[in-house]
Amino acid sequence: MILNSKRSILVLPLLCICTALSAQDDKHHHAEDSTDVFYRHLQLNEITVTGVTGDTKLKHSTAPISIVSAKTLRSTAFTNIIDAISHQPGVSQLTTGGSISKPIIRGLGYNRVVVMSEGVRQEGQQWGEEHGVEVDGNSVGSVEILKGPASLMYGSDAMAGVVILHPKAILPEGDMRANFSSEYQTNNGLFGYNLSMAGNKNGFVWDGLYSQKMAHAYKNKYDGYVPGSQFGEKAGRLMLGLYKSWGHSRLTGTLFHLTPSIIEGERDEVTGELVCATDNVKTYRKVLPFQHVNHYKLVWDNFFNLRKGYLKVLLGYQQNQRKEFEESEDEYELYFKLHTMTYDIRYVTQEFNGWKLSAGIGGMYQQSGNLGEEYLIPDYKFFDGGLYATVTKTLGDRWTINGGVRYDHRHMHGDELEEDGAMRFTDFTRYFNGVSASIGAVCNINEHFNVRANLARGFRTPNMSELASNGVHEGSIRYELGSQDLKAEYSLQADLGLDFTSRYVSAQVALFANRINNYIFTHRIPEVIEPGYLTYAYTQGDARLLGFEAGVDFHPIHAVHFSNNFSYVDAQLLNQPAETKYLPFTPAPRWNAELKWELFHHSHSTIHHHHSDYESHHSLLNNLYIAAGLNYYFKQNHIYSADDTETVTPAYALLNFSAGTDVQVKGKKVAEFYVTADNVLNTAYQNHLSRLKYADMNNATGRRGVYNMGRNITFKLVVPVQF
């Protein structure tokens, strides 16, 4: 078995080795169905990423990038799309119950992470802990994660990085396919299904999808069933487009409805049991208090082939409706309605003499209104615009250098509000201007080693919650106070990465150092404004973050591989005493390990024996694998302890098992089947980034807060149909 060494240069984080089956399903059908370690190595250089200058070969990217393929998404058990990618190196999730997750990249989250969906920024009031990403995971074809402020095309908020949720690939000409999938999870009784159909006829393309998901309360060893953790979800997507030699034009509409109940964490003072508003904790129907979230999106995506490059024009409209019901299912107390219009016009040249250039403008307009009787942030209007240019230069077969610059202008206006004779919000206007820039290089030292380095300056303005919050945040069980005096954040981050690959071992390490001026965060203050709620206020200070992601993948024989990756970030406020030294809510160090055995496998790769063709056509199962995994979270004692803002989180380990296979008849795949067992030992734990960790004290046990989900087994069936 001989590998082509020129195609085995590794330039993505280790876990991508374990997941990057194919980023381009329409070009590599056999690779996308493959779980084969050796075959993945053959395809790495063919993967295309968005990079900092439009479409770029992964080996030419100077910034650290992780890729999660469609096959990996299908075989992963998750309750939302951020949950699905939360084990990638350097990526964590901030959770509020089972249905709501926010991405954290290298210790930074909220508006510091831009999520792209259908080509536009996902805007759904992401400033709140309990405001998740309103995107249906079934509509996502693959995920690309850019770490650090190195991508200039996505706006000033991308200080921590960008999560790009790519839609499913357009089918080849003449194809028409349908897909049905269903799953069941044992812990919270989650039942979900989705139906989709897509086609391509003479360049006219379409893609439609409908999915539904429902779950009752989850349970763990300490709390039993957790009232308020049930949720229901419905989503739909329709895309119509035209693909011709001149380019393409497509219109995509999506809707996303989520109804999560709110976990309040109230306990009986004597027994310590969680207070439940219903006698049936396993009910699937919503229970007060709950939220109702509607998100609608319309995107017009245009791509024009020009003589020396291409022009891309993206226009989007989004409407986010978020209601909170506390006393009655028919009358909401809090209601945000957010309108967002986004635009992005970009020109990218073809490569000439090793050069590739791009330039563009992009930004958005927002208007948010309060339609309820309770208030947290004021009505506001917001305008953002940016100009950017990037350049890439390849020098021979070894060197790639790229860089760019971006200028952003942002205008924000908050309306005043008088309530019961007192001023709740004052009228104010803020203007912000900032420059972002990056420069980097990647060198293919030889057929085994690759080195990349990047230096980037990031910029982020405070959001409306940070500037003007004044109210109860039910979902995070706190009262929040903003400050109109906050300044914009500026960061300077350096990245250094080294990758090694060989026939039996692949390894990667990525180091980063980040200095952020005027870092904005919340801290607890002793003052009680609303009885029953802790009070948190926004403030800022200078910070520095140091960390790394490292991994090694052993594949001593063709059918077995053992992967490990480690993520660590140390985030400190500068010139502070011990109790305020560390940034609050920094992810704990984490080690992920997986031992995977491919019992038998067939692909089109020539590295297999000839009799594999015969076996694959006469076997019921193909691509069969079993795997055991361990997620170990180290103790997090680097905390912001002043005023009990956060507490130490002990170490814990989660043992997982999984298996999957293709089911085929006469050599044709008719289904995929996956079983995943998470937290097999039913460990009781609290993730350091769970907001439920700070709910009420259990007087009977002395434990504070609500614990995460216990043992959970997921069964998933995928049935593809080709007409």
Single pTM value for the model = 0.90
Cis amide bond preceding 289, omega within 30:
yes
**pLDDT tens digits, one per residue of 168-203:** 999 999 999 999 999 999 999 999 999 999 999 999
Which whole-number Å values give the CA distances from 489 to 128, 544, 641, in the listed order? 18, 12, 23
The Cα 537–Cα 523 span in angstroms is: 6
Q: pLDDT tens, 250-299?
A: 999 999 999 999 898 899 999 999 998 888 889 999 899 999 999 999 99
- Say whether pLDDT at 41 is over 70: no
Residues 6 or more apart in contact with residue 471 via CB below 8 angstroms: 374, 375, 376, 377, 424, 479, 480
Separation CA 34–CA 32 (nearest Å):
5
Q: Residue 604, Cβ neighbours under 10 Å: how many?
A: 14
Select 5-722's CATH number: 3.30.460.10, 2.40.170.20, 3.10.560.10, 3.20.80.10: 2.40.170.20
Assigned token pair, 353? 């003499």
pLDDT of residue 486 exceeding 90: yes
What is the number of residues in the chain?
A: 723
Q: Is the pLDDT of residue 69 over 70?
A: yes
- Is residue 614 pLDDT above 70, yes or no? no
**Could you read off the pLDDT of 151-168 as tens digits, one per residue?**
677 877 888 999 999 999
Query: Are 199 and 205 a contacting pair, CB within 8 Å?
Result: yes
Q: Fill in the DSSP letter of residue 38.
A: H
Please give the distance of CA 647 from its chain centroid, rounded to a whole number.
26
When comparing pLDDT for 32 and 503, which is higher? 503
Mean pLDDT of 289-310: 95
The pLDDT assigned to 50 comes to 67
Look at residue 21 and tell me whether its pLDDT is greater than 70. no
Six-digit token pair at 519? Answer: 């870092």
Residue 547: which pLDDT band, with cuts at 50, 70 and 90? very high
Q: What pLDDT, on a 0 to 100 scale, did the predictor assign at position 561?
A: 87
CA–CA separation, 414 vs 333, rounded Å?
21
**What secondary structure letter does DSSP report for 651?**
-
Angular region, 218: left φ>0, alpha ψ -120 to 50, beta rest: beta
Per-residue pLDDT of 644-694, as tens digits, reads: 889 999 999 999 999 999 999 988 999 999 999 999 999 999 999 998 998
Per-residue CA distances from 542 to 453, 456, 506, 587 (Å): 24, 17, 37, 19
* Position with higher pLDDT, 17 vs 544: 544
pLDDT band, residue 475 (cuts 50/70/90)? low
Q: From 43, 69, 15, 40, select the one nearest 558 (Cα to Cα).
A: 40
Whether the per-residue pLDDT at 45 is higher than 60: the answer is no
Place of tokens 């405070």: 462
For the range 521-527, what are the long-range contacts, defined as Cβ-Cβ under 8 Å and sequence gap of 24 or more?
521/583, 521/584, 521/640, 522/480, 522/584, 522/645, 523/580, 523/584, 523/640, 523/642, 523/643, 523/645, 524/642, 524/643, 524/644, 524/645, 525/481, 525/643, 526/643
Which pLDDT belongs to residue 53?
57
- Structure confidence at residue 314 (pLDDT): 96
3-class SS shares of the chain: helix, strand, coil, % to 5:
10, 55, 35
pLDDT, tens digit, 9 for 90 and up, residues 106-152:
999 888 999 999 999 999 887 777 788 999 999 999 999 998 876 67
Strand 48-49 versus strand 399-414 pairing type? unpaired
pLDDT at position 110: 86
- Given a cut of 80, is residue 615 above it in pLDDT? no
Residue 491 has pLDDT above 70, yes or no: yes
Q: Is pLDDT at 572 greater than 70 in this prediction?
A: yes
Q: Residue 618 in 3-state DSSP?
A: coil
Note the pLDDT of residue 533.
85
**pLDDT higher at 28 or 132:** 132
Report the relative pairing of strands 560-573 and 590-600 from DSSP bridges: antiparallel
Neighbour tally for 620: CB within 10 Å: 11
Q: To the nearest whole percent, how much of the chain has pLDDT over 70?
A: 89
pLDDT above 90 covers what percent of the chain?
A: 67
Write down the domain spans for the chain: 5-722
Band of pLDDT at residue 51, cut at 50, 70 and 90: low
**H or E segment at 545?**
strand 534-557
Range from 12-21, 462-471, 591-600, 710-719 carrying the lowest mean pLDDT: 12-21
User: For position 52, what pLDDT does the model report?
Assistant: 53
> What pLDDT was estimated at residue 369?
95
Q: Higher-confidence residue: 16 or 524?
A: 524
Q: Minimal CA–CA distance to 292: which of 254, 324, 337?
A: 324
- From 55-64, 140-149, 262-271, 340-349, the region with the lowest mean pLDDT: 55-64
In the predicted model, is pLDDT for residue 17 greater than 50?
no
Q: Quick check: 65 pLDDT over 90? A: no
The pLDDT tens digits for 509-529 are: 999 999 999 999 988 898 888
Q: For 180-208, give one letter per residue: b (16+ CB within 10 A) or e.
A: ebebebebbbbebebebbbbbeeeebbbe
pLDDT at 292: 94
DSSP per-residue codes, 363-419: EEEEEEEE-SSS-SS--EEEEEEEEEEEEEEEETTTEEEEEEEEEEEEEEEE--EEE
C-alpha to C-alpha distances, 37 to 8, 217, 271, 341, 467, nearest whole angstrom: 11, 38, 52, 43, 49
Q: What is the pLDDT of residue 3?
A: 36
Mean pLDDT of the chain: 87
Q: What pLDDT is recorded for position 20?
A: 33
Q: Which two tokens stand for residue 719?
A: 């049935």
